[in-house]
Amino acid sequence: MKQVTDIKNLMPIGMREPERSQAVEEVPEEVIAEYVEMVAKLAKPPQDIKGVKVGSLEVIAQLASNISGAASILQDTCEHLLETSKLGYKVDDSFIEAVKTTDVLEPFPDATYEEAFINILLNNLHMYMGVAGELGELLDAIKKNVIYGKPLDTKNVLEECGDIMFYTTGGALLYKTEGLKPSKESLDRLYKTSPVTDGMASLFTCLGITKEEAMHANMDKLVKAANARYAEGKYSDAQAINRADKAEGE
């Protein structure tokens, strides 16, 4: 199969290669045997894993719960977008009637109700892909400490916590239909009630990080530092791709 190089236009396998959609890939037995042997040799023996303690298990469990919450929102968002795309990016009339009583248009004063709803879905797609990704990176940093015995990279952990704060806050900004506003009160509510951030305070406490420290670290990285990613103070694809805050090769 030719490797996909652009996920944007990826089609389901049944559309891309219908003759293979129901086929079972036959991997040569010698390749399977070689691969299994490699994994058996390289996977750390479980009896040698010494870093599993009550505290680390609680942090890992909380992270798993947050990842599950982000995945659930992401799945729902994709399903909603799939439905609208089947309708030519139109929204069902009954939904439009339901949201007319809300302030869903407030962030998009020139948009129709359909456009506003789709914008919210697209924002969710972006933010909760980000949340899930950053939670995964934080989990990976903790894995290296718990499983491999490597000292915890506290600088990286703080950065990942800041990134998680960015995406969870971004996911709240457009929730006008739930009465959330980009204010201290709404963010306090978000961090206490969101399925993704529920338990974030206890997670940060376990890691020895405050929400304020995570916010400052994220602001320094994105807009305040000499090598800030968004030195212009606003988003652009070029700055997002170039990542000025990352040293070459990092």
Q: Is the dihedral of CA 71, 72, 75, 77 positive or negative?
A: negative
pLDDT on residue 212? 86
Say which residue, 103 or 121, is predicted with more confidence.
121
* Average pLDDT of every residue of the chain: 78
Sequence letter at residue 155: K
> Domain residues of the chain, as ranges?
54-209
128, 196 in Cβ contact below 8 A?
yes
CB atoms within 10 A of CB 187: 20
Q: Look at residue 10 and tell me whether its pLDDT is greater than 70.
A: no
Sequence letter at residue 107: P
242, 230 in Cβ contact below 8 A?
no
pLDDT on residue 249? 47
Region 171-192: mean pLDDT is 53
The CATH code belonging to domain 54-209 is 1.20.1410
Say which residue, 238 or 192, is predicted with more confidence.
238
pLDDT digit string (tens) for 26-49? 889 999 999 999 999 999 999 999
pLDDT on residue 153? 93
Percentage of the chain beyond pLDDT 90 is 30
pLDDT on residue 121? 80
Say which residue, 80 or 164, is predicted with more confidence.
164
Q: Look at residue 92 and tell me whether its pLDDT is greater than 80.
A: no
DSSP letter string, 192-217: HH-TTTTTHHHHHHHHT--HHHHHHH
Q: Where are the alpha helices (DSSP H) in the chain?
A: 13-16, 29-42, 54-86, 93-99, 113-146, 154-172, 184-193, 200-207, 211-219, 237-242
